[in-house]
Amino acid sequence: MPIVVPWLDYSAGQVEQLLASLLTRMMPTAQRIDGSGGDGGVDVQVPVVGGLHIYEIKRFADRLKPAQRRQIQESLLSAARSQSTMVAWTLVVPLDPTPGELEWFESQLQGLSPVPITWMGRTAIEAHLSAYDDLLRTFAPGSVETRALDLAVEALKGRPEGPRPLAGLQRVGVVPAPATSFEDRGGFFDDFSFGETVVLTGLGGVGKTQLAAGFIRDRGKNAAVVIWVTASSRDLVLGTYAEGARAVLGPQDSIEQAADRFLTWLAGTENIWLIVLDDVQTPADLRGLWPQGPSGRTVVTTRRRDAALAGYQRRIVDVDVFSAEQSARYLRSALRDQPALGDDIDGVAADLQGLPLALAQAAAFMLDRQLRCSEYRRRFADRRRRLSELLPEPEALPDQHRDTVATTWSLSMDAANQLAPVGVARPLMELLSVLEPDSISAGLMTADAARNWLSYAIWSATGSAGEIGAADIDTIADGLRTLHRLSLLRHDGDIVRVHALVQRVTREGLDAERRSSVVWAAADAVLEYWLRGGHAAKLDMTMRANVNALRRHDRGELTGSGGHKVLIFAGTRQGEAGDPRGAAEYFDDLLATSMPHSEPDHPDVLELRGHAARWRASAGDPASAISIHEALVHDFERRKGPDSVGTIVARANLAVCRARAGALTDGIHEMEQVLADCEQLFGPRNIHTFDARSLLAEMYGEAGAGEAALTMFAQLAADRLDALGPDHPDTLAAQGSHARWVAECGDRGAAIPLLQRLLDVRTRLLGPDHPDTLATRANLALALGESGDVEDAADNYGALLADSVRVMGPDHPKTLTVRNNYLLYNSLDMAPDDAANAWMDLIDDNARILGPRAPETLNSMHNFGEWLALAGHLDQATGWLQATLAGQTDVLGAEHPHTLATGAYLTRTQDAMTRQPPSVREE
């Protein structure tokens, strides 16, 4: 029967500790997140297929108040922003939901989430706690529920653990001494019953041997027989078993017979025994040699993850690196006698990514050379230094280490490359070595670009690809699993994770030509996979991380003349995802990186300058953008002449920049000249002419000349249809603009069928989640609302908001626009406080993502002012509208239609205030 827990008697800390411990007990792979520095909306995370399942713990044990609902929503959105690999989210709260709370959770909250969400409530929690009642005594002592449990424990006192020991204790093999600054991580041997085997597996250097030795030190004093086996070969295992047989059974004949008799004795004895099989190289070495018996426990350490390691009463435990806190604690202990050296312990811990072996060897290196942590980090960051130059010499290794970090993994790589499919593991790891360690999609390795390069690499290494076959998808998948089996990477679902030091060792084994080939092939694979993958925010974040990794390892291969297109694509996607300032800085940095490898007037350099100017304008710095564009026009004219395509495009960009900076009249005049030159130089049906017509039509509309914009877009849609066909993206874009201006010019009923047909075509060609499809749905919803079908518009915006958050993420500019329009049609039906908070949240998010003076932020401020006026808060509405008008006048200009609209609405609001009776005036 489930335990009934008095949750309201517990503090918030007790509840969080109790529930976090319950989750980690239920799911061995669960990881508790230390929130001391901000947990990013995560209390516990569990690796699952495709990414992470995030658990958020709340103390709330009574009905949810609005403030508590807001806390839950903020935790969900924070997790969505900070956890790029999140695939599911669960609220863990000791409260079963009411129908109203469940409706809020499953509709409103789920609509804001990019992943499925679930509620683990009181009934489920208490049912699970009934199986782990010791947690209550640990984290909620003294409660009514734990007193009866304590009585039951008292009744069991005095019962001996396991069977009686031998009269004489027997020890075989040498248990390694504790590391100088041994870090007791705990938890690996919890619930370790007699008759069981724990297999510790993981990357070489994560401390498996030290964990096993710690287990012997803790439990060995109560055992009659303790055997430590260096199990790196079958012969060593047999020899140690034979020695064990002599210790417990007396003199023996052959080694094989002695080992067999020893295993038989283990299976039948009532005496407690412990055996460690350390550093098993292959499961085949233990065939027929696994210890079994009801009185013993066995620990196996190995880098392998083969299925053959599993079996009856065997538990596989994956040992990971130290946490950031454990790493820092280890280094402080190692450097305790030289505290002056520890000036940047956290930095060294981060650089070495928590690998215990690397931390120990780095600490020894710093002590030997009296290097401060900051100086060690400077050397570590120097790409000219090999890792071997940053670790002790083999004869100076600490803690009885047999090999350096580099040697440890080189041996593993040699072994992996000899496993089937032979010769695939090494080139696979070479490609992986230049990507982001924790954000590699397995699909990157099956892109055509990666498969072609791998085929070449296998052929060049073996002299013939025929023996292995082409690098098809199955071969690559098997190669990744081989590297996983040797613990050289983690391959969980679609994500591949490689320790950064493994990558560094791999890269240092490449000569200059091979390295260049690897970097370019990886960039090809990233671009291909990204283009094929769609527009999901999660994909963009992952791919941008991989591009940043490629740039860190680039030595001119990607940024020289003819720079790789993935670099441009990454910056563009960053700007489109709602970070124009970051995109401008990205292109500035990319330009600075490219200059040493290119001539100042190289077309690639000029293109980078154009991208930097474009995003600087979007980031709210039009003056700098105009200056850059003017210089670009001058440089193109000087290099290519006034009639070149590059010069024409630079002039068009300058005109657009002027218009968006508030100088609409100047921008229109310049664009009219660009269009005339395009028609003369390229002809009326050239793509550049079409683009100039589209930009000019948009400027006419922004300037208030809607009929002119409508006429131009109608003709442009017809011309593009004739020249490019019905399914071309430019044709569809022109049709969308035409439909928009049909609605803007007042014929909203005619716009609706145009938009519906466009939506059908884009859904068929691009799919329902493509940004162009979502944009068409937004325009259709707006047309429905403006035609009087307010209810349908509100419903459409609700569904569109959920899809936009799911596909593009909550911070994408297009998602923010949908939120704005959703509130326009729904906020008047919301509770006043909820509506006001929703508008304020939107304005804050716009300011945070796009900037406080961005046109989108100012537009939301205007809409909030209108809502306040309609809700009767005229004083507050006037204040918001005045602030909006000042911002629009400064950014867009006094004659911009948006500025004029805000001024007109402000005047009407102020007039309404003067007519308002004193009894209802706001104070």
Neighbours of 20 (CB within 10 A): 20
The burial of 66, by beta-carbon neighbours within 10 Å (0-12 exposed, 13-18 middle, 19 or more buried), is given as exposed
Per mean pLDDT, which range of 130-144, 551-565, 697-711, 909-923 is the poorest?
Answer: 909-923
What is the model's pLDDT at position 158? 42
Per mean pLDDT, which range of 61-70, 101-110, 128-137, 163-172 is the poorest?
Answer: 163-172
Residue range 121-127: mean pLDDT, rounded: 86
Residue range 513-534: mean pLDDT, rounded: 92
What is the model's pLDDT at position 133? 67
What totals of helices (H) and strands (E) does the chain contain, helices first? Answer: 38, 14
DSSP, residue by residue, 199-238? EEE-STTSSHHHHHHHHHHHHGGG-SEEEEEE-SSHHHHH
Residue range 764-786: mean pLDDT, rounded: 90
Confidence at 153, pLDDT banded by 50, 70, 90: very low
Residue range 199-210: mean pLDDT, rounded: 93
What is the model's pLDDT at position 827? 87
Query: Own/partner pairs for 262-271, CB < 8 Å, 24+ apart?
Result: 263/289, 263/291, 263/292, 266/291, 266/292, 266/293, 266/295, 266/296, 267/292, 267/293, 268/293, 269/293, 269/295, 270/163, 270/164, 270/295, 271/163, 271/164, 271/165, 271/166, 271/224, 271/225, 271/295
What is the model's pLDDT at position 621? 80
What is the model's pLDDT at position 394? 78
Residue 83: partners with Cβ closer than 8 Å, 6 or more residues away: 40, 41, 42, 45, 52, 54
Residue 691 above 60 pLDDT? Answer: yes
Q: Encode 501-521: b = buried (16+ Cβ within 10 Å), e = exposed.
A: bbbbbbbebbeeeebbbbbbb
Residue 336: partners with Cβ closer than 8 Å, 6 or more residues away: none
Residue range 621-646: mean pLDDT, rounded: 89
What is the model's pLDDT at position 839? 93
Residue range 659-683: mean pLDDT, rounded: 92
Residue 855: partners with Cβ closer than 8 Å, 6 or more residues away: 888, 891, 892, 898
What is the model's pLDDT at position 567? 94
What is the model's pLDDT at position 144? 41
Mean pLDDT score across all residues of the chain:
86
CA distances from 240 to 219, 231, 314 (A): 20, 9, 21
Strand partners, 273: 225, 296
What is the model's pLDDT at position 920? 32
Residue 396 above 80 pLDDT? Answer: no
Nearest to 815 by CA among 81, 90, 105: 81
Residue of 135 and 791 predicted with greater confidence? 791
What is the model's pLDDT at position 186? 76
Residue 831: partners with Cβ closer than 8 Å, 6 or more residues away: none
Strand partners, 45: 31, 54
CA–CA distance, 480 with 474 (Å, rounded to integer): 10
Residue 402 above 60 pLDDT? Answer: yes
Query: What sign does the CA torsion over 548, 550, 553, 555 have?
Result: negative
CA–CA distance, 660 with 654 (Å, rounded to integer): 10
Per mean pLDDT, which range of 159-168, 522-531, 855-864 is the poorest?
Answer: 159-168
* Type of residue found at 5: V
Tell me if 586 sits within 8 A of 573, measured CB to CB: no
Instruction: Give the CA angle between residues 861, 862, 866 to the nearest 5°.
Output: 115
3-state secondary structure of 482: helix
Per mean pLDDT, which range of 121-135, 158-172, 213-227 is the poorest?
Answer: 158-172
What is the model's pLDDT at position 478? 92
pTM over 0.85: no
Residue range 425-436: mean pLDDT, rounded: 95
Residue of 137 and 812 predicted with greater confidence? 812
What is the model's pLDDT at position 236? 92
Residue 649 above 80 pLDDT? Answer: yes
Query: What sign does the CA torsion over 773, 585, 842, 118 have?
Result: positive
Nearest to 374 by CA among 344, 331, 401: 344
Cis bond leading into 421, ω under 30°? yes
Residue 154 above 70 pLDDT? Answer: no
Residue 244 above 90 pLDDT? Answer: yes
What is the model's pLDDT at position 520? 94
Residue 71 above 50 pLDDT? Answer: yes
* Type of residue found at 27: M
Phi, psi for 412 (deg, rounded to 5)? -65, -40
